[in-house]
Chain A
């Protein structure tokens, strides 16, 4: 029996690998259709810049903890970069598809809808990377010596942490979006999540500047691994050994979220009413 399931699993994996380039291509083409929307979305990502202005003013009279003016600039530019590269709109897509029944056509295709969604979202990353590339020059000015440009190991850890952040946020959004099959207010739940994430991920304030008990609590929650951890790794606030350890914690959160997302998805399909039509 397990061999049969193993064989089916392998076949499914091969099928996903074969189909994924086509999904990415479609996602890329679709993203170009929404290029203006993408630019507008980028312009709304101004909170790190506001916080950067605020904290550099505070740091004008002296460093705050480990953060001088240049560290704040590097931190918030890194935050902006990670936020833009890892951003996802899955939760809005899923809630709409479940509530309006437009998930139905996706369910009739022989690939898990989350794979298809992941391709659509990933396809937007290259264009976002191009659009935010000017930020890299400022980041280099602010944290050039701290950036892992000449350290392949640290660079690999930082890029893995950013990829992990993308996966974790995608899966969290999948979980909350799937809740739309059970409750009408899945988007309100996501608003609550966003509120907590703003504080506990280090998005507004670096976690080490928060009261110690908050910073400590954040280490046991997934928020930090979506934003704070990849930024700290990128601008050299984490030592290599500590970053490797944190990468393991991030992987655990990803694995847990994946299991939860798939279990919830299966339960949601039983509740899906395929409304409309």
Chain B
């Protein structure tokens, strides 16, 4: 469905120090420098796949999505989406994709979202009955029936984002580019949007490419991740494999009915979080069963759970250990 080969994108940016003198100097002589946003990035994405783009701020994730959706021209390299070159912006291609940007909106600001939906229906030349059915289905799924008649400017950020999703999916795209779709949303709203995206993917077989600062989004939605750092693709593969490689351990979280005796916890594993009636241990994956058995035997446990380490920690460790121009790794 998506094929990117040796994508490079270089921006030319102006540089000047702060201050009036520097401003005046820049009138006569402008200093520019080139910033490499993407360097030789290649990947393939199959129909129906859900892939997360991960990387620190300015890594090149959004640039990659903008190239894939045809908004930006790559400096070099080739990309096709569903057989189309995105930058040609053919109508068939635009009918096939959508790009949701958490920080940019397509909703008409002073009019109710229903007006944007009606406009998109006309622009995408959708049969009225079909579009109405899709709109109703999406509105019901996101529970925004009461909102779509209010002016967009009077909606909360979360309400707007849900309406953005409806506007973006009305033409039933087969490729979803989602750039920070849950930014600014509260935890429960994030979970609902994630659930919605997964259901859309499962129902339509659409490919999903997602960038998000919320690792929960990626962990919950994307079995596969592409990690980009300073424009370089440094990992492309299974998220669990990456997690196991970076942190080959499990987290055992225990709740106690009374305060455990001093020293008991340390004998079970490395204690990474502790409060009076709760503790989290980091234990090698192979020793989890033994550690749980020992904990249940020795400690006043009221509840116990075993989980993978948080993705934030894994990524922090992974990216922190990377050379600036590290070569690609794969699972």
Contacts and interface: CB of A to CB of B under 8 A. Distances in A.
Interface of A: 12, 15, 18-19, 21-23, 25-26, 29-30, 33-34, 101-102, 104-105, 107-111, 116, 269-270, 272-274, 276-277
A15 B123 CA distance: 8
B180 to A, nearest CB: 7
Given A107-B71, A108-B69, A108-B71, A19 B122 contact: yes
Contacts of B70: 107-108
Nearest to A34: B110
A23 B119 contact: yes
B135 to A, nearest CB: 14
A276 B66 contact: no
Contacts of B139: none
20 contacts: A12-B91, A15-B125, A19-B122, A19-B125, A22-B122, A23-B122, A25-B118, A26-B119, A33-B110, A33-B111, A34-B110, A104-B99, A105-B101, A108-B71, A108-B98, A109-B94, A116-B123, A269-B73, A274-B66, A274-B71
Contacts of A101: 104
Interface in B73-121: 73, 87, 89, 91, 94-95, 97-99, 101-106, 108, 110-111, 115, 118-121
Nearest to B11: A273
B71 A272 contact: yes
Pairs of residues from A and B, 9 with the lowest C-beta to C-beta distance, nearest first? A22-B122, A277-B103, A105-B106, A33-B110, A110-B91, A110-B94, A274-B71, A19-B122, A277-B101
B214 to A, nearest CB: 16
Given A107-B89, A109-B123, A110-B95, A276 B103 contact: yes
B249 interface: no
B62 interface: yes
Max chain A Cβ within 10 angstroms of own Cβ: one of B87, B104, B120, B123:
B123
Nearest to A109: B123
Contacts of A269: 73, 87
B111 A19 contact: no
B277 interface: no
A120 to B, nearest CB: 10
Contacts of B118: 22, 25-26
A277 B179 contact: yes
Contact of A22 (B62, B102, B123): B123
B124 interface: yes
Contacts of B105: 105
A21 B105 CA distance: 23
Given A33-B151, A108-B69, A110-B91, 8 more contacts: A15-B91, A23-B122, A26-B119, A102-B104, A109-B94, A109-B123, A110-B124, A274-B71
Majority SS at the chain A contact face: helix
Contacts of B103: 276-277
Contacts of A104: 66, 71, 99, 101, 104
Nearest to B179: A277
B249 to A, nearest CB: 36
B122 A108 contact: no
Contacts of A21: 122
Interface in B224-281: none
Max chain B Cβ within 10 angstroms of own Cβ: one of A23, A111, A269, A274:
A274
A196 to B, nearest CB: 24
Contacts of A107: 70-71, 89
A276 to B, nearest CB: 6
Contacts of A34: 110
B122 A18 contact: yes
Contacts of B119: 22-23, 26
Nearest to B62: A277
Contacts of A30: 108, 110-111
Max chain A Cβ within 10 angstroms of own Cβ: one of B87, B104, B180:
B104
Contacts of A18: 122, 125
B328 interface: no
Contact of A277 (B73, B97, B104, B122): B104
Contacts of B95: 110
B45 to A, nearest CB: 19
Nearest to A274: B71
A104 B100 CA distance: 10
Contacts of B179: 277
Contacts of A110: 91, 94-95, 123-125
Contact of A108 (B94, B115, B125): B94
A18 to B, nearest CB: 6
B294 interface: no
B72 interface: yes
Contacts of B91: 12, 15, 110
Contacts of A23: 119, 122-123
Contacts of A274: 66, 71-72
A277 B183 CA distance: 11
B89 A277 contact: no
A108 B108 CA distance: 15
Contacts of B71: 104, 107-108, 272, 274
Contacts of B110: 30, 33-34
Given A23-B122, A30-B108, A277 B180 contact: yes
A26 to B, nearest CB: 5
